[in-house]
Structure 1
Amino acid sequence: MTLTLSQLTLYAGALFVMFLTPGPVWLATAARTLAHGWVAAIPLILGVAFGDLVWSLLAVFGLAWVVGLYPWIMVALRWIAVAVFALMGALLIRFAARPIASDSSLNRAGAWTGFLAGLAAILANPKAILFYMGLLPGFFDLSIITRADILAIALVSIAVPFLGNTGFAWLVDRARRKFSSPERLARINRVAGILLILVAVIIAVTAP
């Protein structure tokens, strides 16, 4: 395996920061938890984790092929990741109080329905698409990636959102509607924005 523990740790940290930014998955998880309890949200969370796996594998295989043909793209993608993380962080801070829309269809009962709702929420989430297809190369050198590396990336891509969303559902189940407070969401957005900018700085200073 060519990946280092520090690379995987930074990647996991960035995934966690992305999890902290409120969006469709947060709303879907909170809605199902408030309606049916946190255990009922597990199928949705599994759907989200599977969607994260799909995006990460598409990014690794697709971008690794491109980088193999044009090695210079690896450097360009890394600096694009720095710029995008910094911009996303700044925008989160700038528009921290902006509300996000909910989708009542994500709240229907049933395990299979919940799984499909979670899968749909992550596959159609622009934040996830941008992260995996545009930012993942900022963490790894895809020109020398191995099967063990791909497995490690896939496992981290599944574990972080699954654990994060499960913990969030558990908290919502106990705190009920406190997490829907505009003031709390604004505060979370500001913290997440600062952390995203910090990720950009770390990638920039560790880039070869």
Structure 2
Amino acid sequence: MEEYLFYVTISCLTIASPGPGVLLTLTNSLTYGLKNALPGILGVTLGMGGISIIAASSVGAIISSSAWMMNIVKLLGAAYLIYLGLKLLRSKPKLQNTLNEITHSESLPSVTARFRQGFFVSMLNPKPIVFFMALFPQFIKAEQPFAPQFTLLASTFCALVFLIHFAYGYITTSARQKISLGRGFLIINRVGGIVFICFSAALILSINVNLMINSV
């Protein structure tokens, strides 16, 4: 029980730390509100579930041990973050006040698009693969069946992802009422776009070019 609580604590600290998934939740919640941010939060959650399965498989071992594979994942992730960043920088929210509720009837992406954004932000981030492969073995007991232990750890992590992102969304949705309409949301989109691009730049800079050249 103590080990499980320790795992929950580490997971909470990791999930709550700033990253592309958290930024996406904050941006969507501030721009569209908590209800409309939920598809993205669900996408991030299921993406993390997919990452945990990959990390537990031989595919995860191949990716984490291969400079080529890890760098390819980083490049794909960087490209997607640049896409999201440019999309935010170009966006011009058209706000309407209807019954004191702020809506984006013309600029709100579809539910599928918001889910897809969250899912790919998680799946194209190589850091969780390494994190899971480093963390899971510390809490897996060799004398016990692997599947039940993995299921508990992975489902716990995914549940925490959803709850923490939901909390972020709730807090930021409450804060959006204090932000002036029009220009305030425009500034949020600009800042969010720049930060996404900074995340992508960090991924690109972390690519080990020498290892890729030597492996050719």
After TM superposition, the score normalised by the length of structure 2 is: 0.56
Higher alpha-carbon deviation: 143-152 or 161-170: 143-152
Q: 1:50 aligns with which of 33, 46, 51?
A: 46
Does residue 85 of structure 2 align to residue 103 of structure 1?
A: yes
Deviation at 1:109, TM superposition (A): 1.7
Match of 1:164 in 2: 164
Match of 1:41 in 2: 37
Aligned-partner Cα distance in 1 for 2:153–2:147: 10
Aligned-partner Cα distance in 2 for 1:139–1:64: 18
Aligned-partner Cα distance in 1 for 2:166–2:144: 34
Give the counterpart letter for 2:173 in structure 1. Answer: D
SS at match of 2:161: helix
Once the two structures are superposed, the pairs formed by residues 120-135 of structure 1 within 5 Å of their partners are 120-135=120-135
Once the two structures are superposed, the pairs formed by residues 1-208 of structure 1 within 5 Å of their partners are 5-62=1-58, 103=85, 105=87, 109-141=109-141, 144-176=144-176
Distance 1:36 1:129, change over 3 A: same
Aligned-partner Cα distance in 2 for 1:134–1:140: 11
Asked if the contact 2:55/2:129 (under 8 Å) is kept, the reply is no
Distance 1:65 1:122, change over 3 A: closer
Asked if the contact 2:25/2:41 (under 8 Å) is kept, the reply is yes
Please, what is the CA RMSD of the aligned residues? 3.3
Aligned-partner Cα distance in 2 for 1:155–1:59: 14
Distance 1:35 1:132, change over 3 A: same
Give the counterpart letter for 1:146 in structure 2. Answer: F
Aligned-partner Cα distance in 2 for 1:65–1:23: 23
SS at match of 2:173: helix
Deviation by residue 1:32-86 (Cα, 9 ceiling, x = unmatched): 11111011111111111111111222223439999xxxxxxxxxxxxxxxxxxxx
Aligned-partner Cα distance in 1 for 2:86–2:113: 13
Runs of 5+ unmatched residues, structure 2: 63-81, 92-107, 180-187, 192-216
Structure 1 residue ranges (4+ consecutive) displaced by more than 6 angstroms after TM superposition? 63-66
**Count of aligned pairs:** 143
Aligned-partner Cα distance in 2 for 1:125–1:63: 15
Aligned-partner Cα distance in 2 for 1:159–1:55: 14
SS at match of 2:109: coil
SS at match of 1:7: helix
Higher alpha-carbon deviation: 20-29 or 150-159: 150-159
SS at match of 1:141: coil
Asked if the contact 1:46/1:115 (under 8 Å) is kept, the reply is yes
Give the counterpart letter for 2:22 in structure 1. Answer: W
Give the counterpart letter for 2:14 in structure 1. Answer: M
Q: Larger C-alpha radius of gyration, 1 or 2?
A: 2
Aligned-partner Cα distance in 2 for 1:170–1:64: 34
Distance 1:142 1:119, change over 3 A: farther
